[in-house]
């Protein structure tokens, strides 16, 4: 008996050997596990840097908040009632720091930046094929710059953090950096990325050298206007855009012949086409948190079961020249059991963006979100070239501009056509053309701010439009969840 007892006691002492209290981390990847030391780990980390930009209802650009945040421009408005209070605040220049649509871009950008910081820091110690490492490092630099570009254009001053991959208490009390400093970092990152990134995209949702150059051109162009107002950047912008245009075949980029072929509809699907200089891709599954909810149901009228999130303002629509591009761009009515219901009879009495409606009534789309199209590079080139040379009839600029205009009219884009071709251009004309080409996309607001045309545009609003409730503002308030933790950001 005693022996048995003794044995039992030994057993329970035995169970408590030295490793009994050691935490079992076998499931985890930790910062100590060296996951980012090779190409496999770095590639996964790069995927993890893209995700925050496309994490549909959590953060990033992938839902209609991206339309909301640009609603100060004249190509976007929203339902006057319904559940669109947050959208209306942008349209009416009274954005509350508690606005639900406000933090999506902010959070997604900074989470992506954190991953980029991590990759950039890990690259020097990583092993693998140099070209692959270069591509990954270049993409990380590009994404960091691109995300800061959104931040600086929307918020102006903002925290510039290049080491957020290591949690540091001190980061919680930093001040915002100046707009100039943020732009300087963007240019540094993009210039370095230019030396690293491969000519062609490894996948439709990733980037090529052309992407880096196109965005750098756009950054330069943005810096020519408000608030940086550095006119010397026109020449840099023109030169960089020209590099993209001249080498577009090398980069696998180019203009599509038909404007309609750019958009996914019930009949057309050229997703991943060569005009996508930079486009977010999506899994199209809510379970993966990856779906394009910016396109689809958000752009469909409530009368047809849509969400009425955004649609076009009347003045912009009526100014939009009639023709092929306008027909492709807008839904101006629909067939209800054989009866044509024009948009003037819609609840909102506004035309909708047909080109963004996708191919089914859903918010779970797996179609691209084109953040940068080749056409923009052409128009950026045209504007920068004319402003840099002071020559309103610069032939290269005119040809770049006219290609887009011809295509918009449904004509062959490379065949000069005196009926539509411009022979002389002002900056404002280019901006206007760009507005139509990119109606409902991601250009109009930034151009209006850059050229300080917001007030002028607002003044022309149709009286039936949602009117400003306060003075126009070029920048958004910092989300209150940020300033609650760190009030120094407001300094």
In the range 134-193, which residues lie near another protein by CB under 8 A? 158-159, 161, 164-165, 167, 171-172
Contact range with another protein by CB under 8 A, out of 2-10, 225-233, 316-324, 415-423: 2-10
**Tokens found for residue 98:** 């508690």
In the range 348-367, which residues lie near another protein by CB under 8 A? 348-349, 360-364, 366-367
CB nearer to another protein: pick between 98 and 191: 98
Q: Which long-range contacts (CB under 8 A, 24 or more apart) does 3-7 make?
A: none
CB 283 to another protein: min, Å: 4
The phi-psi region of residue 128 (left if phi > 0; otherwise alpha if psi is between -120 and 50; otherwise beta) is left
CB nearer to another protein: pick between 122 and 260: 122
Under the criterion CB under 8 A, does residue 401 sit at the interface with another protein?
A: no
CB of 47 within 8 A of CB of 140? no
Give the C-alpha separation, 61 to 388, whole Å.
33
Quick one: which of 65, 71, 111, 351 contacts another protein (CB under 8 A)?
A: 111
Quick one: which of 80, 192, 315, 473 contacts another protein (CB under 8 A)?
A: 80
Under the criterion CB under 8 A, does residue 5 sit at the interface with another protein?
A: yes
CB 202 to another protein: min, Å: 8
Residues in the chain: 491
Quick one: which of 138, 210, 225, 479 contacts another protein (CB under 8 A)?
A: 479
Cβ partners under 8 Å of residue 267, min gap 6:
none
Quick one: which of 73, 77, 368, 457 contacts another protein (CB under 8 A)?
A: 368
Question: What are the DSSP calls for 162-215, one per residue?
Answer: S-TTS--GGGGGPPPBPHHHHHHHHHHHHHHHHTTS-SS-SSTTS--HHHHHHH
In the range 21-50, which residues lie near another protein by CB under 8 A? 21-31, 35, 41, 44-50
Q: Which of 243, 231, 240, 239 is nearest to 390 (CA)?
A: 231
Give the C-alpha separation, 165 to 186, whole Å.
18
Binding mask 412-441 for another protein (x = CB under 8 A): ------------------------------
Under the criterion CB under 8 A, does residue 484 sit at the interface with another protein?
A: yes
Give the C-alpha separation, 322 to 185, whole Å.
42
**Tokens found for residue 334:** 């629909």
Contact range with another protein by CB under 8 A, out of 100-108, 211-219, 407-415, 431-439: 100-108
Binding mask 270-309 for another protein (x = CB under 8 A): -xx--------xxxxx-xxxx-----------xx-x-x--
**Tokens found for residue 348:** 């909102």
CB nearer to another protein: pick between 102 and 387: 102
CB 450 to another protein: min, Å: 24
Quick one: which of 63, 65, 66, 114 contacts another protein (CB under 8 A)?
A: 114
CB 167 to another protein: min, Å: 4
CB of 472 within 8 A of CB of 91? no
Under the criterion CB under 8 A, does residue 52 sit at the interface with another protein?
A: yes
Quick one: which of 61, 65, 78, 103 contacts another protein (CB under 8 A)?
A: 103
Hey, CA dihedral for 344, 348, 350, 351, is it positive or negative?
negative
CA angle 292, 369, 202 (to 5 degrees): 110
Residues in contact with another protein, counted by CB under 8 A, come to a total of 112
Q: How many other CB atoms sit within 10 Å of the CB of residue 178?
A: 14
**Phi, psi (degrees; rounded to nearest 5) at 478:** -65, 140
CB nearer to another protein: pick between 315 and 326: 315
Contact range with another protein by CB under 8 A, out of 9-17, 125-133, 233-241, 435-443: 9-17
Give the C-alpha separation, 455 to 476, whole Å.
16
Quick one: which of 9, 162, 184, 490 contacts another protein (CB under 8 A)?
A: 9
CB 360 to another protein: min, Å: 7
Strands 59-60 and 333-336: unpaired
CB of 466 within 8 A of CB of 78? yes
CB nearer to another protein: pick between 28 and 231: 28
Under the criterion CB under 8 A, does residue 16 sit at the interface with another protein?
A: yes
Hey, CA dihedral for 283, 287, 293, 297, is it positive or negative?
positive
Is the bond into 254 cis (omega within 30 degrees of 0)? no
Under the criterion CB under 8 A, does residue 485 sit at the interface with another protein?
A: yes
Quick one: which of 188, 199, 250, 345 contacts another protein (CB under 8 A)?
A: 345
């Amino acid at each position: 008996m005693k022996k048995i007892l003794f044995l039992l006691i030994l057993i329970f002492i035995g169970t408590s050997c030295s490793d009994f209290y050691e935490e079992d981390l076998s499931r985890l990847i930790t910062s100590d596990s060296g996951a980012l030391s090779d190409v496999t780990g770095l590639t996964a980390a790069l995927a993890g840097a893209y995700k925050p930009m496309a994490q549909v209802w959590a953060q990033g650009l992938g839902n209609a908040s991206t339309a909301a945040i640009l609603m100060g421009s004249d190509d976007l408005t929203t339902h006057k009632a319904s559940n669109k209070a947050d959208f209306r605040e942008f349209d009416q220049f009274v954005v509350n720091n508690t606005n639900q649509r406000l933090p999506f871009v902010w959070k997604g950008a900074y989470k992506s930046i954190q991953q980029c910081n991590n990759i950039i820091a890990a690259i020097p110690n990583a092993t693998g094929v140099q070209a692959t490492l270069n591509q990954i490092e270049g993409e990380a630099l590009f994404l960091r710059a691109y995300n800061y570009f959104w931040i600086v254009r929307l918020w102006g001053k903002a925290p510039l953090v290049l080491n957020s991959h290591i949690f540091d208490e001190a980061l919680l009390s930093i001040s915002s950096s100046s707009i100039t400093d943020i732009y300087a970092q963007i240019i540094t990152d993009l210039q370095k990325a230019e030396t690293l990134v491969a000519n062609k995209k490894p996948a439709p949702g990733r980037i090529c050298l052309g992407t880096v150059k196109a965005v750098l051109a756009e950054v330069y162009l943005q810096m020519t206007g408000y608030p940086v107002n550095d006119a010397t950047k026109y020449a840099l912008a023109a030169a960089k855009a020209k590099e993209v245009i001249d080498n577009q075949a090398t980069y696998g980029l180019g203009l599509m012949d038909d404007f309609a072929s750019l958009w996914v509809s019930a009949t057309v699907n050229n997703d991943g086409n060569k005009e996508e200089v930079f486009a977010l891709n999506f899994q199209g599954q809510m379970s993966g948190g990856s779906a394009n909810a910016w396109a689809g149901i958000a752009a469909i009228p409530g009368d047809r079961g849509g969400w009425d999130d955004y649609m076009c303002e009347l003045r912009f629509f009526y100014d939009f020249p009639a023709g092929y591009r306008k027909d492709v761009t807008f839904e101006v009515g629909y067939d209800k059991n054989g009866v044509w219901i024009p948009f003037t009879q819609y609840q909102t009495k506004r035309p909708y963006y047909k080109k963004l409606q996708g191919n089914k009534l859903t918010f779970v789309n797996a179609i691209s979100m084109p953040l940068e199209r080749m056409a923009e590079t052409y128009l950026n080139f045209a504007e920068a070239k004319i402003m840099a040379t002071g020559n309103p009839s610069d032939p290269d600029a005119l040809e770049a501009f006219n290609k887009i205009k011809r295509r918009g009219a449904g004509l062959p884009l490379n065949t000069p056509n005196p009926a539509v071709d411009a022979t002389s251009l002002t900056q404002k004309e280019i901006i206007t053309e760009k507005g139509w080409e990119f109606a409902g996309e991601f250009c109009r607001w930034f151009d209006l701010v850059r050229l300080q045309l917001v007030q002028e545009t607002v003044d022309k609003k149709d009286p039936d439009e949602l009117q400003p409730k306060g003075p126009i503002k070029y920048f958004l308030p910092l989300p209150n969840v940020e300033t609650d933790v760190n009030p120094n950001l407001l300094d």
